[in-house]
Chains A and B, each alone.
Chain A
Amino acid sequence: KAGVTQTPRYLIKTRGQQVTLSCSPISGHRSVSWYQQTPGQGLQFLFEYFSETQRNKGNFPGRFSGRQFSNSRSEMNVSTLELGDSALYLCASSPGGTTDTQYFGPGTRLTVL
């Protein structure tokens, strides 16, 4: 099976712009979670989608949003970018059961100038 894929791998934006990141889960996986990784804050949970519904959310401002499509692919959007949004954004997929393991993609490196 192919692993979790994320596009693009690298992205450079300027303050005030918006950005959309994409994640394709492992085939058959219905849950997609998003994490932000920064040197200062480490790995922080953004949100999780399961069967096109957000079922869990971390403590991020409303500028961070996401969605999931019927094929389980997910996108996350960040509007009005700030310098502090520069980070590695990781996506993880799992079948969606309570004890299922999350499998991570390689991440999208976002740089905000």
Chain B
Amino acid sequence: AQSVTQPDIHITVSEGASLELRCNYSYGATPYLFWYVQSPGQGLQLLLKYFSGDTLVQGIKGFEAEFKRSQSSFNLRKPSVHWSDAAEYFCAVGLFSGGYQKVTFGTGTKLQVIP
């Protein structure tokens, strides 16, 4: 069965500093990978997704992620963090079979941004 691991429960960075959130997955084939962000009291917003092709994926709000098959990783990065980026970030892997998709989420990483 597919699984997703986000090893960092909580991360604190200074505003303007770079950010990398880690995500590792377990899945037999090439997975479909997603990063979502959730602000307090809100639903999840898609930041970016990887299905195939270029392993460096650009998303919204200045985020990018790189798929590394050899490391089973899909880490999220941002070169300069803004205070408004404080939120919880979820990595997810999608299994597409039989015409439907089942998405498994990681446990999330809470990002705190300090001035």
Contacts and interface: CB of A to CB of B under 8 A. Distances in A.
Interface string B80-115: 000000000010000010011111111110000000
B102 A56 contact: yes
Interface residues of B, number: 23
A8 B101 CA distance: 27
Nearest to A94: B101
A110 to B, nearest CB: 14
Q: Which DSSP category, helix, strand, loop or mixed, fits chain B's interface? A: strand
Interface of A is mostly: strand
Interface of A: 4, 31, 33, 35, 42-43, 45, 48, 50, 55-56, 90, 92, 94, 98-107
Given A42-B106, A43-B90, A43-B105, A55 B100 contact: yes
Given A31-B100, A43-B105, A98-B101, 13 more contacts: A42-B107, A45-B102, A45-B103, A55-B100, A90-B43, A90-B44, A92-B44, A94-B101, A98-B99, A99-B96, A101-B49, A104-B44, A105-B43
